[in-house]
Structure 1
């Protein structure tokens, strides 16, 4: 969708930028007469066909260039590495080609190298016949906006110019009336992020609560995150059974976009936490290119990764990309180990200049051994604390929790007349779980270590998710102004079957002493037929729309709504439960007011409607959550769009929010299931601030601060297992001179105290807590030459001892000690 980008006139010194949040509104009107400066950025574009190299440079730099691609056939570029302005970048890419880039009023044009043109020729548009020195060319376009698909690969940046994650409209971060964080490919690599769980742990405002080795809850603004999308299309899986969406390998994805706050417009569930959108890698290279890497690290980490793109036709219209990873590692947790394999393949076809078809498959399998199910106990039976041991475990040496996921997708993108675009997608995802687990409960005797109650069990599960999504978007004119519109429809079905197989050994064999536990426990036989079965089917149909109305040159309104219907059928051991929610209307409204060339103020309102799966003491499904979310803030776009900043105030009001019932589990439920009660008048309010992008040509950084308060109608704090305040910082700097090629970086993640209510072994209700703590992470990367590079990541460099999760059942899990990961990669 065409977007007019603002000219940046105000220049702020990078060091002072972190102190400028409070004075944005005033600074937006200052020094408007200053001339814009050419942005210097760090690029990493491999050698290859000249047309492709120019396109990647234009996307990364946010520039327009008009070329006649036919005249560049057979020409190659030496590539581009290091810090460059637009002029020096074009010069290097075009070196030896016989062409040069000339700047015009509307962008750049390509012409034969020679004497400088006359001023009149320089000022002429790309297609102007009065400029004979300029090559006949295609219409000038902004590659990053007009391209059917944009990628963050090769940009060397921590930010992106455009996102559609919040509303489905292609908007700049400054034009989006919600808080959005983007983890680009460069930032994922710099922070050594290998899976989605690690990516979320580095996202400002997102906290992790992990109780065992395979499952974790992620939350934002005081509520659990349960909205996930891939390429903008919602995917639905229950993480409680360990299907492992948090284990998705980041090697398959270009970037992660996190929209904080309610996002029911696109997801169908107006949960007020956040929506996480993963953007797949695609086959964009018209020449053979790729990267091979090997990694070694703490606790025997071994990782291999291959990412290869190749043309399938001589003209490059048919292209393929294959990504494969394999990882094995033991753990600081005794007896635990895990193997992971992921494969991803995609074929992208340019059916015409404005039509692209993508067909893809991915497969992932994870095989953990020695898993901890449900955490480890906190106290001895006399009430004294069990000493800290980060390697403690309650597993048996025969346990496993295998899980896998396979998906297939097809996506068609079509440019239409008048700047409109059509996108249709179909996705099928299948998951499987097979787990033999060992759970313990109670508190051991301090002298003998005996007394834990064993609970071996076997679980099996399968799930499938089918989604069809259709979107059309483009500009329209009304009331003398130009606006934008997006229309969409979505059909989805999720089915799952989960079953439990009880131990045939009755009564169970007593456990050995703890914490001296060595994992030796006789493996029982499990029932061949299920002891209980849970079937679930969800069907969802929705239509949605969003528009960006230009009320004036400086004021824009973003309006949207989603009309959906959801039918849920659940069967447990022959008993059927059904819920049907019809004509659910989820409105969205936002205003964005420019305060100057670089700063905007915004406000937004979103309705919340979220069906719940939790049940009360009588095994009745809780009423859907209803409420609303408001957000008010400032956003800034600095240094020619290389740096984005935001400051947001938010308030969330909800009714019927599930909270644990202090009476415990639902009577007679199989498997055991915590009962919940509905909290009325739940209210959360807080503040978030974030800066992300380029502070200087060789300096990238991300800084995020988040704080919230959450309580029910009586003022009682809720969701206390989530830290109220977080600070997350990461920065990297590419050195020059004699140290050219060396990049150094580091980050600090700090979070405040969190706690949970628990029953003490002596019977009283107490609070268990994790005090505030900070983790320091370091990285270094050295580019040996254009092909080879080596990286080192040190996580928790100060070896801080901390807990990642606390629960009412008086169990805990310790966080990872200091770890070192080294990798070497070869690019071609």
Structure 2
């Protein structure tokens, strides 16, 4: 990939100017082909009419490198113009992409330079014409002085710089780079633009804003008491760049991941056994890293907000040699934050670096690292009790903390990765990725959730105390090949791959909840400041050694029997082994837990049928298999979750593929479904569960994302989910059945440099838990709505100010029905972003 710039001048006559155009590389000879109509040989029109104002407006474009049809589709979608052509004009070429600020005519001239094609402006938009130089007319899009800066802009699906709330492709569901419409499952992509607009900082914020996902937060983020749910199941499958992160002992480690490293988050709801091998049929969250750009760009951002929130970020990307064949990027951030909850403080430090090198025109080497240190003090695993000792309800302030002053959570995540990718003739590609990660965590627990206070005296409460710590390491190797193949005179696609993962954790065991010679009593909760009682003496009691191995091989084939029909079939074979040994110092005894599953086969099938150029119907099926780490009250692990998942729906690409619409209905049948037993703990100190068989989960989801009108972005979704046992009784009633999430922004181009305003809401229906408090009554949190607002104003091309107001109406609500843990009150964050 090479960076270059050219200056074109229109002299008299215009054909003379065109004769002086430089001969550019063949990779920049751009054409367009709408694949769905190519075989039919029909003319294609990329909708949205152009206007003189649109044609002359200078705006930023980010057209990814790839096929020529995708490049001009992307440009027309971003420009909001009509572009008409025939397949014969544009067949069989590639594109290096386009980056920078242009008028519509300037961008078209850049894309078509050297191709023998021109774009003629007309009353209904632009028309591609391939004509001899001497026949060019005055309306061709080579007029005026145009500065062109064209670069390859990154991998398919890249959202940075697009300004959009949607993307052109996602690979998390099948590893094929398919559009959302071509994927026979429910997929949400949280783009870089939406994250910036909503001020999203970590993974938990992604969950709060993603349709169909629910955060059941019983305490401060990062502990095991805050679980992410999708379609009635806890989300346990996390990926980075498509490679699974494995830590079955403590998957909530990933919930506090900072989003500064990432271009986007791809969330596939439903069963994803094809890409994971194992997992609940809830969702997979795949975080896709930022990559270096072939042009220099740099940004710095500072922000401040309520409760002493301060954060600074820097992001620099640049070519490292003159040819641009070696590129690097560095991202760094530092954050200190207080909280609306007393004593809770957070400090973050993070650094990310990545280098890409073009070893050959079709060979790419990538290597990088990331480090995240996240420390919280005054950290609590829950809120205060919901009931007084007489059975009446408490009414704490939202700022009242359950945390002892000495309680903390410390996390230090380190990752090192390298990938080698090579392209072959005929469109085939092979990629291998190796990674090594360390997730170092240490949590000292102390929170006032025991007992129930006496209203008059404040006595009757005690601390739950303990500690858990570890530093699990994971080594992964993922290799796959993908490309087209011919069968029965038509072209199809295939992916074959294998993944090997090793996770090792050597740590110590500590005492939980009760300690000899230590009183956990809090004399008076009304005057308690978290300092008394002091932390109990809690030395290590045991050595714990854990090893987890996952080996899997898979394939996905996408057959195209007709232009309108796509059949996807695949399977994954997974072998899993988990060994855990504990040596107890006091008794000198050793206990072992060895679990394994060999050659577990997970089939997958999907079908997509195009009704027309915009609408499709789809259906998919897969099996469910997940060894569970939930324990029953005796400490025995629940048997693996088994079942079947079905999904049907319709999807659409509207407004020239700028807007994605999806409607899905699903049915999940499972055995050994884990149901939390309220108020009961397993011997390891975690919540205890029971296994329910013959359960069914069903529901539907509606989602829309993208740009329905120029400068208007929207991301919205409604989800309904119901979980019932074999007798029709509702399960997991502490998770809302209905949720609605909406965020939208609009750029007022006529206001100064261009004011962007936006807002959103999150609504859920009521949740409840039975058998709570001294009288074993039902606790209900009624449905509620949280509203957020934002504004962004550029002072210049380099400096932008932004403001985010969260919970604008100051809604007061519990985030759970197990303790008095409140959602965040109204808060404000202000930021200044400087770009170079």
Same structural fold, with TM-score higher than 0.5 when normalized by the shorter chain: yes
What is the total number of aligned residue pairs between the two structures?
A: 754
Question: Compared with structure 1, are the counterparts of its residues 100 and 575 closer, same or farther at alpha carbon in structure 2 (3 Å cutoff)?
Answer: closer
Shift in Å at residue 643 of structure 1?
Answer: 0.7
**2:199 paired with 1:192:** yes
| Alpha-carbon contact 1:47-1:80 (below 8 Å) kept | no
Tell me the distance in 2 between the aligned counterparts of 1:204 and 1:217. 16
Task: Check if 1:394 corresponds to 2:402.
Answer: yes
Q: In structure 2, what is the Cα distance between the partners aligned to 1:328 and 1:723?
A: 32
Aligned equivalent of 1:223:
233
Q: What is the CA-CA distance between 1:758 and the residue it aligns to?
A: 3.5
Q: Do 2:788 and 2:806's aligned partners in 1 also have CA atoms closer than 8 Å? A: yes
1:429 and 1:38 mapped to 2: Cα distance? 50
Match of 1:385 among 393, 396, 401: 393
> What's the counterpart of residue 609 of structure 1?
625
Q: Indicate yes or no: 2:414 matched with 1:406.
A: yes
Match in the other structure for 2:11: none
In the alignment, the residues of structure 2 paired with residue 794 and residue 478 of structure 1 have an alpha-carbon distance, to the nearest angstrom, of: 56
C-alpha spacing 1:769/1:156, structure 2 compared with 1 (3 Å): same
Per the TM alignment, residue 438 of structure 1 is displaced from its structure 2 partner at its CA by: 0.9
Rounded to whole Å, the distance in 2 between the matches of 1:307 and 1:122 is: 45
Residue 597 (structure 2) pairs with residue 581 (structure 1): yes
> What does 1:640-659 correspond to in 2, within 5 Å?
640-659=656-675
Structure 1 180/5 Cα, relative in aligned 2: closer, same or farther at 3 Å?
farther
For residue 205 of structure 2, give the secondary structure of its aligned residue in structure 1.
helix
**Which SS does the other structure have where 2:260 is aligned?**
helix
Post-superposition offset of 1:609: 0.6
Residue 512 of structure 1: how far off its partner (Å): 3.2
Deviations along 1:248-307, one digit per CA (max 9) or x if unpaired, are 1111100001001000111122421111111000112333x2100100100011000000
1:118 Cα deviation from its structure 2 partner: 8.1
Residue in 1 aligned with 2:822?
Answer: 814
Pick one of 159, 178, 186 that aligns with 1:179. 186
Kindly indicate whether the alpha-carbon contact (under 8 Å) linking 2:748 and 2:754 is maintained by their aligned counterparts in 1: yes
Q: Does the CA contact (< 8 Å) of 2:665 and 2:698 recur in 1?
A: yes
Partner residue of 1:563?
573
Measured at CA, do residues 194 and 365 of structure 1 come closer, stay the same or move farther in structure 2, by a change above 3 Å? Answer: same
Answer with 191-200 or 453-462: which moved more: 453-462
Within 1, Cα distance between the matches of 2:337 and 2:113? 50
Which position in structure 2 is the counterpart of 1:622? 638
Residues 344 and 378, structure 2, Cα contact 8 Å, conserved in 1? yes
Structure-2 separation of matches of 1:174 and 1:469: 27
Q: 1:824 aligns with which of 810, 815, 832?
A: 832
SS in 1 for 2:547: strand
2:799 maps to what in 1?
Answer: 788
Residue in 1 aligned with 2:272? 263
Name the residue aligned to 2:612.
596
Give the whole-Å Cα distance in 2 for the aligned partners of 1:302 and 1:729: 27
- CA drift of 1:3 comes to 12
TM-score, normalised by the number of residues in structure 1:
0.85
Asked whether 1:153 is paired with 2:160, we answer: yes
Q: CA deviation at 1:208?
A: 0.6
- In the TM superposition, what whole-angstrom CA distance separates every residue of 1:529-571 from its partner, at most 9, and x where no partner exists? x124543321110000001001212111011100110011122
CA distance in 2, matches of 1:35, 1:305: 38
* Shift in Å, 1:480: 1.3
Report what 2:525 is aligned to.
514
| Residues 606 and 619, structure 2, Cα contact 8 Å, conserved in 1 | yes
| 1:451 paired to 2:451 | no
Q: CA separation in 2, counterparts of 1:62 and 1:421? A: 28
Distance 1:372 1:622 in 2: 27
Structure 1 812/560 Cα, relative in aligned 2: closer, same or farther at 3 Å?
farther
Instruction: Tell me, yes or no, if structure 1 residue 711 matches structure 2 residue 720.
Output: no
Q: Which residue of 2 aligns with 1:421?
A: 429
Match for residue 17 of structure 2? none
- List aligned pairs for 1:51-62, cutoff 5 A: none
1:607 shift after superposition = 0.7
SS in 2 for 1:805: coil
Shift of 1:59: 5.9
* Shift in alpha-carbon separation, 1:591–1:375, aligned structure 2, 3 A: same
Alignment partner, residue 697 of structure 1: 710
The 8 Å contact of residues 183 and 256 in structure 1, kept in 2 or not, is answered as: yes
How is 1:87-106 mapped onto 2 (pairs within 5 angstroms)? 87=105, 89-90=107-108, 101=113
**Which of 537, 560, 574 is the matching residue for 1:526?**
537
Return closer, same or farther for 1:662/1:743 CA change in 2, 3 Å cut-off: closer
1-structure distance, mates of 2:114, 2:32: 23
CA gap of 1:631–1:151, structure 2 versus 1, over 3 A, is same
Q: 1:272 to 1:615 in 2, by over 3 A?
A: same
Equivalent in the alignment of 1:720:
733
Shift of residue 424, structure 1, vs aligned partner: 0.5
Q: Pick from 203, 211, 215: which aligns with 1:204?
A: 211
Residues in 1 aligned to 2:434 and 2:134: alpha-carbon distance in whole angstroms = 46
Q: Structure 1 residues 298 and 119 mapped into 2: Cα distance closer, same or farther (>3 Å)? A: same
CA distance in structure 2 between the aligned counterparts of 1:239 and 1:745, rounded to whole angstroms:
40
Q: CA deviation at 1:523?
A: 2.5
Structure 1 residues 634-686: Cα deviation after superposition (integer angstroms, max 9, x where no partner)? 100111111110111111100011223479334xx2x4344332101110111
How many angstroms does 1:90 deviate by? 4.1
741, 755, 761: which one aligns with 2:754: 741
**Matching of residues 269-418 of structure 1 within 5 Å:** 269-287=278-296, 289-418=297-426
| Cα deviation, residue 524, structure 1 | 3.6
Q: Is the contact between residue 386 and residue 773 of structure 2 (CA under 8 Å) also seen in structure 1?
A: no
CA contact (8 A) 1:7 1:36 kept: no
- Alpha-carbon distance between aligned partners in 1 of 2:354 and 2:44, rounded to the nearest angstrom: 48
Deviation at 1:520, TM superposition (A): 2.2
Residue aligned with 1:266, SS: helix
**How far apart, CA to CA, are the structure 1 residues paired with 2:287 and 2:606?**
24
Contact 2:236–2:279 at 8 Å: present in 1 too?
Answer: no
1:594-628 superposed Cα distances (whole Å, 9 cap, x missing partner):
11111000111011011101223443221111101
The change in CA–CA distance for 1:35 and 1:89 in structure 2 (over 3 A counts) is closer
Cα distance, 1:679–1:650 mapped onto 2, change above 3 Å: same
From 496, 499, 503, the counterpart of 2:508: 499
Kept in 2, the 8 Å contact 1:58–1:143? The answer is no
CA contact (8 A) 2:342 2:399 kept: yes
Whether the aligned pair in 2 keeps the contact of 1:8 and 1:639 (CA below 8 Å) is no
CA contact under 8 A between 1:728 and 1:748: conserved in structure 2?
A: yes
Aligned to 1:129: none
Q: Distance in 2 between matches of 1:450 and 1:682?
A: 43
The aligned counterpart of 2:4 is: none
Q: Which runs of 5+ in 2 are unaligned?
A: 1-30, 79-89, 121-126, 136-141, 143-149, 585-589
Cα drift, residue 246 of structure 1: 1.4
Partner of 2:81: none
2:128 and 2:692 map into 1 onto residues whose CA distance is 72
Once residues 62 and 564 of structure 1 are traced to their aligned partners in structure 2, the CA distance between those partners, rounded to angstroms, is 41
The answer (yes or no) to whether the contact 1:457–1:526 under 8 Å persists in 2 is no
